[in-house]
Structure 1
Amino acid sequence: MGTWEPWLAIAVALTLLITLAMRVAATDLLAVGCLAILVVAQSITGTPLLPSPEAAVAGFGNQGLITIAFLFAVVTGLEFTGGTELATGWFLNRAKTLTGAQSRLLIPVALMSGFLNNTPVVVALMPVVSDLAKRIGTSSSRLLLPLSYAAILGGMCTLMGTSTNLLIADLNAKEIAAGADITPLSFFAPAAIGIPATVIGLIYMIVASRWLLPDRRGAISVSDDPRQYTVEVQVEAGGPLAGRTIEDAGLRHLPGLYIAEIQREDGTIAAAKPTETLRGNDVLILVGALDSVVDLRKIRGLTTSDDQARKLQIPAWQRTLVEAVVSPRCGLLGKTIREGKFRSHYNAAVVAVARGDKRLTGKLGDVRLETGDVLLLEASPSFLHRRGESRDFFLVSTVQQGAIRRPERAWHAIAVVLVMVAVAAMTQQILTASLVAAIAMIALRCCTTSEARRSIDWSILIVIGAAIGIGSAMHQSGAAAGIASGLLNLAGGNPLLTLAALYLATMFCTELITNNAAAMLMFHIANSAAAGLGCDPAPMIMAVMIAASASFLTPFGYQTNMMVYGVGGYRVSDYLKFGMPLSLIVFVVAMTVIPIVWPLS
């Protein structure tokens, strides 16, 4: 490395490492800024040892990067239809203890993450985890970090499970196309390491989390809300809850919410005993806090009573939940909701009513409105603009609610995902499968075009694209070959020690920057190290692939770790304490399996 180009490439890579670790600015800005240094240097000097501007930005058209973008859209279809809850709810709703909840959550997550990019899987399941934690009476901090780790472990098992695997597989295919003598990577190639690492890792997390994970709760729980909403829902005839007892339906231990009475279709009233069997068209009168009422809407098999919301002249996916406080000037004061024809008058349906901490009896339609009543309404977004200045209400504000907007399309979304996975596994055409699946989600109205567009995390894609350009500079300048030579000298030419050094170096980079940036930087180093040893690059590439994903020590190395960081109330020390044993587990499995499956000779 006698010229200046390799040293510039190394300096830029180190700058990216350090600035990302120190959180100097947004990750995408730092990645693009570092890439810009290389582009400007090449443009000024014209040196052939750095990629041209066209080559430097070619990473933004990388096949793996585009596949990731499409997978975000696919998971949006699952999220907005409730397909995730439908696929996992039957399994998770039976959990009674923390161990049971973790077992029922982490195993399906690991399985799903093998066939869906693990980042959007965590995005889709975070609301489910919050509901699960409330149901078993524990803190979500006991579930969110294991959720992230399980998604990472599961993603190691296939080429489709994580963006890192997709990117490395794409780079590997390009090397083969260029004439390199490298073993092609099959769809399930990483499974040889990923499956045993996942099994051992899941056992470790389920056993050790009670001692190594904190139990941190929010300052205010839903039961602290002084307002007691009365909400009325109907058991859907022929739905999943009809014919089941309250206990079996999972309605007995709703957090901050209880069933006050059951009104039968024949006019009789039944007590809400755990053993009471629900019938189709039963009307359930429940009392609870606002958050709990909103969560109630996620339960399949329960619909808005009296068909009021369904009579609204607004598509279900365009509706929003609104809180409105009745003022003394409201024209419906003293009238019941039914008498005042509230829905026709305001084009909004009353979902629940709260009157301080008083419990209202009877059906919602029979409630006489009083000044100060808080109404939870289902309405169009325009209701806020039309009624925000109205004298009928003191206050009108939107309510944060779950993203399930088209529950009737849930099976369509699940079918699209299953077909996508089957086609990708059989044909290896992962980009094509994800592209068609994203279009199918929109065509089947599982999500809209704008929702799919908004779901894409552009910052992640920008970091990946820039990291590919920086990795290309490391290779083209000869910096990767120089570092590989240093690793070989450090390992004394021993293939196994070189493999271990490469794995640990990649893992170290991953924890400081991001998995994709680390993978891009280390891929060419792995190829150069293999060339120096005179062996097939496949084992070195597999070590980089697994190590780049095995980010368990900091919240910064992997996007799913960062996503749960604030929500779970974690500290950096929590990752180190809980993730260190997991990192050692994956390292030992990788060092044992790789030389057996991909010989180093």
Structure 2
Amino acid sequence: MTFDQLTLFIILTITIAMFVWGNWRHDMVALGALLACVVTGLVPPQEAFDGFGHPAVVTVACVLVLSRGLQSTGAMDVMAQRLIPKNGTTTGVIVALTAVGALMSGFMNNVGAMALLMPVAADVADKHKLPPGKVLMPLSFGTILGGMTTLIGTPPNLIVSGFRDSAGAGSYGMFDFTPVGLAVALVGIAFVSLVGWRLVPSRTQAGAATFDTGTYLTEALVDEKSSADGKTLWEISQMLEEDDAQVVGVVHNDTRVLPATPAQRVRSGDILIMEAEPEALTTAVSKLGLRLAADPEEEKEEKEKKEKQEEKKTEERARTADQRSAEAGAIGIDENEDKGDGDKEKKKDKEKDKEKEKEKEKEHARREDIQLRELVVMPDSPLTGRTSRMLRLPARYEINLLALSRQGRRSVRRLRSTPLRAGDALLMMGSDDSLNTFAAEQGCVPLATRDISIPNKEKAVVALVAMALAVAGAAFGLLPAAISFSACVLAFMALKVMPLRNVYESIDGAVIVLLGALITVAEVMEKTGAADLVALAMLDNVAQGNPVVALVILLVVTMTLSDFMNNAATAAVMCSIAISAAAQLQVNPDSFLMAVAIGASCAFLTPVGHQNNTLILGPGGFRFSDYWQMGLPMEILVILVSVPMLLWVWPL
């Protein structure tokens, strides 16, 4: 082993450990690995960022934009509504929902497909009296499986295609992944729809009207008129016993008291930290006469700010009237003219009164429109890592964060100072328009009804035609995939399929940095011979020169890594090893590269292996250990189906 190889192995070991640890974002870890390679001399500084110009990176960015366009126009909504039956057996509806999710994932980002269909899954679960997790997990697995069927369905396929091109064999076509990917997807969908959903742990009672997001932690203010004022926490607990709610902490003078002792007496102005199921939350708060408020101090500040603005306007109007009177007296305006001016002032005052009445009516209408809605934070949401206080929700959106559900964890911080995470369920209060705007801008998905995007038939048709042309151009080899989909993005912009401001917002910068950095690091594995060394060790010590055994080992190792680290990162690391192993065995490298593509996409054992699994963690009420019960047989099934298909379609 050379010094460069040893250095690279140390960097890769630390990188994989950081991925599994999960406290740093994947793009930060990848960028750190790249810079470490530069500092140690493994990568020349002038070549450090060559990976960002790789066709796979460009194609991924384009697919993210196109997915957002298809989503915002409502093109996929129409398809989902027509293909998913409203009535039928539970198994039949889950089959249809999972199949539609897989179909959509073949041609758009699978996270986008999952986000679109989550509200549909909620309705299915409610209608069939099922815990939502039993519908959500099959849908998540189905969208993951569907991404394996085409070149653009998932980033690992694009990365594998890019490595094949770098090896001098040319890139894969649009549907080169379809024979193996489709076989795995069909068997997988059949399994999760017929058998798998029954293995999913039940985290809610049948007939739940909403997602089992677990218990919510919320803050409720004790008013002077509240029945909780003056009572001990033991007395309050007796009042809440029937509602299955409890007080877990008290904030007095902005200081949280932990633990909440039974003898502690509650006073007006205190804030109770309450834990309750979503259905029991409002009942418990109403019974105690409390007021839900995410941040009473911030609301007070906003109210005082508005009152000061109104006082300032009143003073300016009074000052203007005094100036006019003084000017009139100075130039000697007669009484008749003064009366005329007085009449004008009266008219103006009446008009102002009418305007005030209209404003009051509008304010009343807004209050009538106030509602509670549950939203889930998506993995790529800008809310991640930010707190309610930092967001200033009342000022920016006229909404409040009332409660937070984070399955399996109880925060010891104030609600307003708790950093949000992907998969968190948020109970928001505000008007319909304000909540829609917040959800659209901040990357949240509503858990009950999907009402964020309004379908536009004309733009939907344009989007579908442009997308079909781009797919055809790449499929028939008329243009490279990166060029074909770049042209489609340009068409979306020129034809205003989506607002131009949303084009670059659609591109997940973290994914781009991850891919651009790791592609360069993976190339170092090939240049230093590190990939050859790993492949040789695997072939000699485990496979013992048998190419079929080597193929199975490569698939299993890739699947295992993908369960704990980003699938794109897994593909980038394993591609070099796959090419080297095939070269040493003198067999077809396509079968090994396809094994990497399949393995990198099949992350079914944990909620961190794929964004879709993270997305359902909160809404499904899942724990970290809930995924393997359906995920383990799913991964075994993938191996049993994919290996024979790989040997048949891509013979050694």
| TM-score, normalisation: structure 1 | 0.67
**Cα 1:56–1:559, aligned 2, differ >3 Å: closer, same or farther?**
farther
Aligned to 1:199: 186
Q: Say if 2:566 is the partner of 1:523.
A: no
The aligned residue for residue 301 of structure 1 is none
Tell me what 1:24 maps to.
23
Separation (CA, whole Å) in 2 of partners of 1:76 and 1:552: 25
Q: Distance in 1 between matches of 2:645 and 2:85?
A: 37
Mapped to 2, the partners of 1:342 and 1:350 lie a distance apart of 12
Counterpart-to-counterpart distance in 1, 2:370 and 2:36? 62
Residue of structure 1 equivalent to 2:148: 156
Distance 1:65 1:523 in 2: 16
- 1:483 deviates by 0.3
Quick one: which amino acid aligns to residue 28 of structure 2? L
Structure 2 residue 411 is matched with structure 1 residue 419: no
Map 1:134-173 → 2, pairs under 5 A: 134-173=126-165
Give the C-alpha shift of residue 204 in structure 1: 0.6
Aligned equivalent of 1:185, options 172, 175, 182: 172
SS for the counterpart of 2:616 is: helix
Residues 354 and 541 (structure 1), Cα distance of their counterparts in 2 relative to 1, 3 Å cut: closer
The partner residue of 1:560 within 612, 629, 633 is: 612
Q: For 1:438-517, what aligned pairs fall within 5 Å after superposition?
A: 438-490=489-541, 491-517=543-569
Give 2:508's aligned amino acid. D
Give the direction of change, closer, same or farther, for the CA distance of 1:477–1:382 in structure 2 (3 Å limit). closer
Residue 415 of structure 2 aligns with which residue?
Answer: none
**1: CA distance between counterparts of 2:452 and 2:159?**
30
Residue 78 of structure 2 corresponds to which residue in structure 1?
A: 86
- Contact 1:110–1:150 under 8 Å retained in 2: yes
Q: Is the 8 A contact 1:118 1:151 kept in 2?
A: yes
Greater helix content: 2
Matches within 5 A, 1:387-402: 399-401=434-436, 402=451
Q: Distance in 1 between matches of 2:66 and 2:483?
A: 13
CA distance in structure 1 between the partners assigned to 2:48 and 2:146 by the alignment:
32
The alpha-carbon deviation at position 144 of structure 1 amounts to 2.2
User: Matched residue of 2:176: which SS?
Assistant: coil
Decide whether aligned partners of structure 1 residues 37 and 576 sit closer, same or farther in structure 2, where only a CA change above 3 A counts.
Answer: same
Return the alpha-carbon distance in structure 2 between the equivalents of residues 411 and 344 of structure 1.
Answer: 40
Please name the residue that 1:543 is paired with.
595
Inter-partner Cα distance in structure 1 for 2:396 and 2:581: 62
Report if the CA contact (8 A) 1:85-1:128 is conserved.
no
Q: 1:52 to 1:342 in 2, by over 3 A?
A: farther
**Kept in 2: contact 1:69–1:461 (CA 8 A):** yes
The aligned length equals: 442
Residues 400 and 11 of structure 1: CA distance in aligned 2, closer, same or farther (over 3 Å): same
Shift of 1:183: 7.5
Out of 26, 29, 53, the residue aligned to residue 45 of structure 2 is 53
Give how far 1:137 is off.
4.3
Q: CA deviation at 1:186?
A: 3.2
CA distance in 1, matches of 2:357, 2:645: 67
Matched, 1:586 2:578: no
Q: For the structure 1 residues 209 and 492, does the alpha-carbon distance in structure 2 shift closer, same or farther, using more than 3 Å as the test?
A: closer
- Worse overlay, 89-98 or 165-174: 89-98
Alignment partners' CA distance in 1, 2:633 and 2:124: 26
Distance 2:49 2:89 in 1: 50
What is the CA–CA distance in structure 1 between the aligned matches of 2:164 and 2:621, rounded to whole Å?
Answer: 39
Secondary structure of the corresponding residue to residue 149 of structure 2: coil
CA deviation profile, 1:341-392 (whole Å, cap 9, x unmatched)? 9989978996994799xxxxxxxxxxxxxxxxxxxxxxxx99969xxxxxxx
Unaligned runs of 5+ in 2: 213-278, 280-353, 372-394, 400-428, 437-450
CA positional deviation for 1:114: 2.0
* In 2: Cα distance, 1:191 partner to 1:151 partner: 15
The one-character-per-residue Cα deviations of 1:424-450 (angstroms, maximum 9, x if unpaired) are: 322363222322222333333332111
1:579, CA displacement in angstroms?
0.7
SS of match in other structure, 1:566: coil
Question: What residue identity is the alignment partner of 2:452?
Answer: A
**Cα gap change, 1:132 to 1:73, in 2 (>3 Å):** farther
Residues 275-314 of structure 1 correspond to what in structure 2 (within 5 A)? Answer: none
Query: 3-state SS of the aligned residue for 1:106?
Result: helix
For 1:384 and 1:560, the matched residues in 2 are separated by 30
Do the aligned partners of residues 438 and 580 (structure 1) sit closer, same or farther apart at CA in structure 2, a change above 3 Å counting? same
Residues 415 and 355 of structure 1: CA distance in aligned 2, closer, same or farther (over 3 Å): closer
Per-residue deviation, 1:140:
2.9
Q: Go from structure 1 to structure 2 and tell me whether the alpha carbon gap of 1:347 and 1:421 turns closer, same or farther (over 3 Å shift).
A: farther
Mapped to 1, the partners of 2:365 and 2:468 lie a distance apart of 38
8 A Cα contact 1:98 1:138, kept in partner:
no
| Secondary structure at 1:161 match in 2 | coil
Secondary structure at the aligned position of 2:633 is classed as: helix
Where 1:438 maps in the other structure, the secondary structure is: helix
Map 1:293-442 to 2 at 5 A: 353=368, 399-401=434-436, 402-405=451-454, 407-408=456-457, 409-427=459-477, 429-442=480-493
CA distance in 2, matches of 1:537, 1:466: 24
- Amino acid paired to 2:566: T
Identity of aligned residues (%): 30
Name the residue aligned to 1:101. 93
Equivalent position SS for 1:214 = coil
Aligned to 1:580, the other structure's residue is in SS state helix
Whole-angstrom distance in 2 between the partners of 1:33 and 1:147: 34
Separation in structure 1 between the aligned mates of residue 362 and residue 586 of structure 2, nearest angstrom: 74
Residue 484 of structure 1 aligns with an amino acid whose one-letter code is A
Contact 2:162-2:171 at 8 Å conserved across structures: no
- Provide, for residues 273-303 of structure 1, a one-character-per-residue CA deviation record: whole Å limited to 9, x for no partner: xxxxxxxxxxxxxxxxxx9xxxxxxxxxxxx
Deviations 1:560-587 (A, max 9, x none): 2222223322222221111111111111
| Higher alpha-carbon Rg | 2
Residues in 1 aligned to 2:612 and 2:627: alpha-carbon distance in whole angstroms: 12
CA distance in 2, matches of 1:103, 1:558: 21
C-alpha distance in 2 between matches for 1:220 and 1:135: 10
C-alpha contact (below 8 Å) 1:92/1:105 kept by paired residues = yes
Per-residue CA deviations over 1:127-168 (Å, capped at 9, x if unaligned) read: 443344445443432222222211221121222211111111
**Unaligned regions of 5+ residues in structure 1, if any?**
43-49, 177-181, 225-290, 292-338, 357-380, 386-394
> Partner letter of residue 517 of structure 1?
A
- Separation (CA, whole Å) in 1 of partners of 2:10 and 2:575: 18
Match of 2:104 among 109, 112, 117: 112
The one-letter amino acid of 1:86's match is: V
Question: Partner letter of residue 584 of structure 1?
Answer: I
Checking the alignment, whether the CA contact within 8 Å between 2:174 and 2:475 is kept in structure 1 is yes
The one-letter amino acid paired with 1:418 is A
Match of 1:532 in 2: 584
C-alpha separation in 1, matches of 2:61 and 2:512: 7
Change (3 A) 1:420 1:171: same
Report the CA distance shift for 1:502/1:199 in structure 2 as closer, same or farther (over 3 A).
same
Could you tell me how far apart the structure 1 residues matched to 2:492 and 2:361 are?
Answer: 33
Distance 1:598 1:396, change over 3 A: closer
Residue deviations 1:223-253 (CA, integer Å, cap 9, x gap):
99xxxxxxxxxxxxxxxxxxxxxxxxxxxxx
Amino acid at match of 2:514: V
Deviation of 1:418 after TM superposition, in Å, equals 2.9
